[in-house]
Amino acid sequence: MVGLAGLRRRGALALGLATLLAACTSTAKDKDGNEVRTDSEPLERRFAPLGPLSDAHWLGVALGTTDARVPGPTDLRVVGFAQLRAGAVSSITGTSSQRGFKAAKPHQLPSELVQFMPEGARWVRSESFDRQVTGETYAGRFYFDAATDLVYFDTINPSVASSSGT
């Protein structure tokens, strides 16, 4: 059972994320109204352990349906790709024996992002690294391809404070 404080925190988080996403510019909209975004700054603040990001293509998608008669927070899925600096993936995954990086394939890729998936990518991920980035305060998976220094992220309600370790 979630206490009142937990509901308030979750509501504030969702409202803050929705406000941030609404304030940023978009580059394209699909038929469902989902915006493919290319700004990296919101991602860098949430996923600080990844370092500087560029060439981002991502979505902020409200999950579930909202009914104006039933108030409450809406979960936000933040999913997409971003380019890491050269050699960053090797640096992150180079300690695979400590972090347990293993081959894994991203799943539930939104159709709007399919064109950004590199052919022949050899994705790896680590639950330990996922916990480091999320601070265990939100759900998130991070997949890396060393050949392209690309990250694929799939998160629910990512927060700035948790990702930056503050």
CA distance 38 to 43: 10
53, pLDDT greater than 70: yes
Q: Average the pLDDT over 93-100 and give the result.
A: 73
Do the Cβ atoms of 18 and 76 come closer than 8 Å? yes
Alpha helices in 25-105 (DSSP H): 41-46, 88-93, 96-99
Q: Average the pLDDT over 59-66 and give the result.
A: 81
Closest CA to 82 of 23, 135, 153: 153
Token representation of residue 134? 């999320």
- Its pTM stands at 0.74
pLDDT of residue 160: 83
Tens-digit pLDDT profile for residues 107-135:
889 999 999 999 999 999 999 999 999 99
| Most confident of the ranges 27-31, 150-154, 159-163 | 150-154
Q: Which residue has the higher pLDDT, 14 or 57?
A: 57
Backbone angles phi, psi at 48, to 5 degrees: -55, -40
pLDDT of residue 131: 94
Which helix (H) or strand (E) segment holds residue 26: the answer is none
pLDDT of residue 33: 59
106, pLDDT greater than 50: yes
pLDDT of residue 94: 84
Q: Which residue has the higher pLDDT, 64 or 46?
A: 46
Closest CA to 116 of 153, 154, 81: 81
Taking CA 76 as the corner, what is the angle to CA 72 and CA 125, rounded to the nearest 5 degrees?
A: 140
- Share of residues in the chain with pLDDT > 70 (%): 70
Q: Average the pLDDT over 52-66 and give the result.
A: 89
